[in-house]
């Protein structure tokens, strides 16, 4: 990493529901670590999660990782999309909605930055509603502050859990 550049902290959501998902996530994280402008900090435990917003018989493995980088948010997004392709992600633009995938890498947070362009919205616009993001993110950064809602990740998770006797559709697994 270029020591003359300002270092940013980013959080990445990792997911897969095709192939050996745990290995794919670990290998994708290792691939990101190899980039000269990235230093991987911590990767959460993996969580087996029920598909959300789509019909599929394939459950997901999800995790969240923290990294530091000298890349801009847009350059980091480009790297994440390129990494998805390298790990077999195929996007079918003619199909509506979410689809099964070998790898999904989402830029969740980048410092406390807010961005809304045609390519990138930060913080990730649905992260506060998704247990498959909040649970692993709370594991590694529960005191992180959501830049728009001004609530911690732990508080957002508590709100999602409120009124539920039991969180269903998500369970911690081993790497």
What is d(CA 146, CA 156) in angstroms, rounded to the nearest whole number? 9
Residue with tokens 């409120």: 162
What is d(CA 1, CA 71) in angstroms, rounded to the nearest whole number? 10
Q: Which of 22, 91, 101, 111 is catalytic?
A: 101
What is d(CA 100, CA 91) in angstroms, rounded to the nearest whole number? 10
Active-site residue, 106 included: yes
Taking a C-beta distance cutoff of 8 angstroms, is the pair 33, 80 a contact?
Answer: no
Q: Which of 104, 111, 130, 150 is catalytic?
A: 104
Q: Which of 22, 37, 78, 106 is catalytic?
A: 106
Active-site residue, 22 included: no
Active-site residue, 104 included: yes
What is d(CA 21, CA 17) in angstroms, rounded to the nearest whole number? 6
Q: Which of 22, 26, 27, 89 is catalytic?
A: 89
Q: What is the DSSP string of 85-145?
A: HHTT----TTS-S----S-EEEEEEETT--EE-SS-EES-TTGGG-HHHHHHHHHHHTTPB
Active-site residue, 130 included: no
Which residues carry out catalysis?
89, 101, 104, 106
């Amino acid at each position: 990493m270029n020591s003359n550049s300002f270092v940013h902290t980013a959080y990445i959501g990792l997911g897969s529901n095709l192939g050996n998902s745990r290995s794919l996530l670990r290998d994708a994280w290792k691939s990101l670590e190899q980039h000269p402008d990235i230093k991987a900090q911590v990767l959460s435990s993996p969580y087996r999660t029920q598909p959300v917003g789509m019909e599929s018989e394939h459950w997901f493995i999800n995790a969240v990782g923290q990294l530091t980088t000298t890349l801009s948010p847009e350059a980091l997004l480009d790297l994440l999309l390129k990494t998805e392709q390298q790990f077999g992600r195929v996007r079918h633009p003619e199909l509506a909605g979410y689809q099964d995938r070998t790898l999904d890498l989402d830029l969740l947070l980048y410092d406390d930055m807010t961005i809304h362009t045609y390519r990138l919205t930060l913080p990730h616009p649905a992260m506060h509603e998704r247990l498959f993001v909040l649970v692993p993110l709370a594991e590694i950064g529960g005191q992180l502050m959501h830049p728009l809602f001004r609530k911690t990740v732990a508080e957002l998770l508590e709100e999602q859990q409120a009124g539920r006797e039991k969180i269903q559709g998500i369970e911690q697994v081993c790497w």
